[in-house]
Structure formats: C-alpha cells, structure tokens
C-alpha cells in the first residue's frame, strides 16, 4: 500500500513512462517512508484528446506533457509529509524523466485499513 495510478500522454516513450513510475515510487519511499517492496502501480497512456487540463489554471503553465499521479494510501500523514511527497515527485520526474514540474498533477486519496485487500479476499490490514 499505496496504490498508484499514473496517466501519461500516449506520445511519451516507454522508457520515460518507466522513469516516471520509478520516480513516483522513489519519492514515496523517501518522503513518506513506505517499504521499498511495497509497489503497486498502474501506468496508462492516453491519446492527446483524452488527457484534458486547463493550460493556465492557478497560474501554472501546463503543456502537452501533462500527466496525472493518483495515490491511494492510508489516512494519517501530516500536511508537511504530503508537501514533501509532492516536492519529491516533482523533483524526481523532472530530473529522471524530463517531465516539467508544471505538467505533473498529483492527487492523494486517503482511506482506512479495512479498505484494502491484497489478495485472497482478506482485509490484511484489518484482521478479525
């Protein structure tokens, strides 16, 4: 846990997609201390007309490399840790995948231990 969904432009090369996924995971390990082997990601490429983002919302100049990172994780991290995570993701994607920080939309969705089953139809984090 967490579960990460990354939506990228179809024009993004496969190696860059992998660098994006690796950069997001490295940021999760670094910033919020998830275990390194706790990696569950879905990376989906979309046609240019299927990733829609306002090019100037909140004064941020987005371009054709716009992508989204959605992260589902357990509730309870501080605002400071979340800010550190956003910064680490933006830094990693810029450095390792050439993604402009302006083009990375990151959303966290928090939930509770009973909201996870990692297999076998069991809520491993909420035994009982």
**Looking at the DSSP assignment, which residues form a beta bridge with residue 83?**
none
Q: Which residues contact 79 (CB under 8 A, 6 or more apart)?
A: none
Tokens of 80: 């400071």
Helix axes 14-32, 79-97, angle to 10 degrees: 150
Residue 9 bears catalytic tag: no
> Quick one: 107 exposed, middle or buried, by C-beta within 10 A (0-12, 13-18, 19+)?
exposed
Q: Which residues are catalytic?
A: 2
């Amino acid at each position: 846990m967490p579960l990460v969904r990354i939506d990228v432009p179809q024009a993004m090369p496969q190696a860059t997609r992998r660098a994006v996924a690796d950069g997001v995971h490295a940021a999760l390990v670094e910033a919020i201390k998830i275990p390194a082997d706790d990696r569950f990601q879905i990376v989906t490429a979309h046609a240019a007309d299927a990733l829609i983002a306002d090019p100037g919302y909140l004064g941020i100049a987005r371009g054709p490399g716009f992508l989204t990172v959605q992260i589902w994780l357990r509730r309870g991290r501080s605002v400071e840790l979340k800010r550190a995570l956003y910064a680490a993701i933006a830094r990693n994607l810029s450095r390792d995948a050439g993604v402009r920080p302006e083009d990375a939309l990151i959303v966290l969705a928090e939930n509770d231990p009973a909201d996870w089953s990692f297999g076998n139809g069991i809520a491993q984090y909420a035994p009982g």
